[in-house]
Homo-oligomer: A and B are copies of this chain.
Amino acid sequence: MTIHFIKEVNLLKDMILELSGRVEDQLGRAVRSVMNRDVSAAQQVLEDDHAIDQNEVDVEEECLKILALYQPVAHDLRFIIAVLKINNDLERIGDLAVNIAERTLFLSSLPTATTSFDFPAMAMKSQMMVRQSLDALLRQDIDLAIRVREADDEVDEMNREMYEQIKQGIRKEPDRVDALIHLLSISRHLERVADHATNIAEDVIYMIKGEIVRHRPEPRLE
């Protein structure tokens, strides 16, 4: 069983890598579509979402298969459960990339609204959190996972700042309300991307800590 089990887990890791690669690509493309008002990049994001949905279903099926065939316990069980949950978060990040790309399509038909908000900084921070949360998973790196969780506060703060900018913008140019509210939505979508990265990081922490608790030297009375 052990060799087969390790093979299956490696397959699962490859599948999560494929999914996360796709999700990162989609998010990057969505962000660039906003920055460059690139309609065709945005449309590409919309078209490619189905591949992520398929990956998500495949990962879940693989997890269920491993659980049913190998009935793992302890660390192995916790790893599979973490992957199941992280799979979900990745798929939602993919959906948020679609939501962001949709805003590009709306924005492209509207006159430009200017804010002094640093969108690229927020986008980069959120993308980095996604990347690091996945690295933390694959390397089982609890310190990196903790750093991701801390970064979430910064993105929340950026979102609040965006919100203030948007309100000021609307007061100054009420006829630009459409474009400004689309920008607000994009900021919120990025904030939710960061939330999902934080979920992933917390699952990694929980998985590793659960392991530590389980392995503590004192015997437990139950």
Cross-chain contact A68 with B74 (CB below 8 angstroms): yes
DSSP majority for the A interface? helix
Give the copy number: 2
> Does A77 have its Cβ within 8 Å of any Cβ on chain B?
yes
> Does A151 have its Cβ within 8 Å of any Cβ on chain B?
no
Interface residues on A, range: 20 to 34
User: Which residues of the other chain, B, contact A178 by a CB distance below 8 angstroms?
Assistant: 167
> Does A146 have its Cβ within 8 Å of any Cβ on chain B?
no
Cross-chain contact B85 with A64 (CB below 8 angstroms): no
Within 8 A of B (CB), among A182-215: 184, 188
- Which of B64, B73, B78, B177 makes the CB contact (< 8 A) with A171? B177
Cross-chain contact A177 with B170 (CB below 8 angstroms): yes
- Which of B77, B166, B184, B188 makes the CB contact (< 8 A) with A68? B77
Chain B residue at minimal CB-CB distance from A170: B177
> Does A181 have its Cβ within 8 Å of any Cβ on chain B?
yes
Within 8 A of B (CB), among A121-171: 163, 166-167, 170-171
Interface residues of A (CB under 8 A from B): 63-64, 67-68, 71, 73-74, 77-78, 81, 84-85, 88, 163, 166-167, 170-171, 174-175, 177-178, 181, 184, 188
Instruction: Give me 16 other A-B pairs in contact (C-beta within 8 A), A67-B81, A68-B73 excluded.
Output: A63-B81, A64-B77, A64-B78, A64-B81, A68-B74, A71-B73, A81-B84, A84-B84, A85-B85, A88-B88, A167-B178, A167-B181, A170-B177, A171-B174, A171-B175, A188-B188
